[in-house]
Amino acid sequence: MNPFDEEGVFGPKTLAILSRAYKDACRDLRQTAPDVGTACEARQILAKRIIDQARSGERDPNRLKNDGLRGLIRSR
């Protein structure tokens, strides 16, 4: 299964899923840990983890969000 559309980039549908997962993860992070939720480094870790999981074929926004948050916790 190829997680990418043409030429190794995400298509519009996948980008919408990634955007939702990222926004939801940032919202949850701000609610549970406001000081961490606004940190640039934390947002970068979330984004990288979500993108990495999408490259592996994951497309469920809730799983992407939760995995991104777990990755952030492990990085601390």
Q: How far apart are CA 55 and CA 35, in angstroms?
A: 29
**pTM of the predicted model, to two decimals?**
0.82
Return the domain boundaries, the chain.
Answer: 10-75
Check: CB of residue 61 under 8 Å from CB of residue 67.
Answer: no
Q: pLDDT for 11-37, tens place per residue?
A: 999 999 999 999 999 999 888 887 775
Which tens digits make up the pLDDT trace of 45-71? 999 999 999 999 999 999 999 999 998
